[in-house]
Structure formats: structure tokens, C-alpha cells
């Protein structure tokens, strides 16, 4: 865990930026078992670094934890901190994946960033930390290719 108390169970300020956001981790009570945990954020937003206009994405984060789990309230605050952050789709998606991976050091992590069209073209971005462990059930991320994505 961090040296500061968890954000869970207490009032917290919205972080002004992803760099200022605190991600909390908690011990994995099933550290002796390989399993997949999934977080889905269907309303992720950031800003275009050129125009300043909002961009929207559906993020799906899958990971196989080792000793640590990401605490969900801190993850929600971290993801919300991108609302005023200017970066391209690729930068946001990989930044989220790497930050969680660096915090947790899981067996494996992948993130799918399914971005809504900018200029009429959706941009989907995928990153993973390496090969998944053998014998892990990895469900499809469940986000259809773009056809008025929902």
C-alpha cells in the first residue's frame, strides 16, 4: 500500500491531472490463484491536444493480479482526471495501462481503448504487458467494432 491512507471511505478531491492522481493498491486476498479481474470504463474522456475538444472512449482493463489489486475508487478518480488532459488516443490508453502495471506488477495486464470517431474515424488502441499466463480464461473484451458503438 502507499504511505498515505486509502481514498476509499473518505472524501477526496478530484485530481487536476493524471500526474497528480493517486492510485491506491490493496493486498490480493487470492494471491495464490490465477484469475482475471476486469474494469470497464464506458465513459472515458480526455481532450484533443490540438483542438482542445473532448474525446470519448470505452476502456476495458483486464489483469491477472499477483500480490496487489487496484482499489476501484482511486481508479475511478484517476480515469476521471483525464477529462482536462490533452493527449492523443494512443498516449492516453498506453499511459493508463502502464501506470496500473507499474503500481501492481501483475502477472499480466492488457488494456483496450475503443475510441469514438474523430474526423469520422474511430481509433482503437491496445496494449499488454506480455503474454498472458497459460490456462487463464480471457473473455473477449465485448466491445464491437465501430457501428455507432454502444
Instruction: Tell me the catalytic residues.
Output: 48, 55
Residue 74 labelled as part of a binding site: no
Cα–Cα distance between 58 and 112 in angstroms, integer?
Answer: 8
All residues at 6 or more sequence positions from 28 whose CB lies less than 8 Å from its CB, including other chains: 65, 66, 67, 68, 69
CA distance linking residue 65 with residue 136, whole number of Å: 12
**Matching residue, cell 474526423:** 119
72 labelled ligand-binding: yes
Separation of alpha carbons 84 and 65, rounded Å: 30
70 marked as part of a ligand binding site: yes
Round to whole Å and give the CA distance between 25 and 150.
30
92 SS3 class: helix
74 backbone dihedrals φ, ψ, rounded to 5°: -65, -35
List binding-site positions for substrate.
70-72, 89-90
Amino acid at each position: 500500500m502507499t504511505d498515505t491512507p486509502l481514498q476509499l471511505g473518505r472524501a477526496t478531491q478530484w485530481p487536476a491531472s493524471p500526474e497528480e492522481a493517486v492510485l491506491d493498491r490493496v493486498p490480493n486476498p487470492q494471491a495464490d490463484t490465477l484469475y482475471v479481474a476486469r474494469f470497464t470504463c464506458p465513459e472515458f474522456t480526455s481532450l484533443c491536444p490540438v483542438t482542445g475538444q473532448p474525446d470519448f472512449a470505452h476502456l476495458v482493463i483486464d489483469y491477472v493480479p499477483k500480490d496487489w489489486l487496484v482499489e476501484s475508487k482511486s481508479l475511478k478518480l484517476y480515469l476521471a482526471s483525464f477529462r482536462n488532459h490533452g493527449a492523443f488516443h494512443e498516449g492516453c490508453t498506453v499511459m493508463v495501462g502502464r501506470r496500473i502495471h507499474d503500481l501492481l506488477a501483475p502477472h499480466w495486464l492488457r488494456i483496450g481503448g475503443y475510441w469514438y470517431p474523430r474526423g469520422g474515424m474511430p481509433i482503437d488502441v491496445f496494449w499488454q504487458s506480455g503474454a498472458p499466463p497459460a490456462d487463464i480464461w480471457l473473455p473477449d473484451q465485448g466491445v464491437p467494432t465501430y457501428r455507432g458503438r454502444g
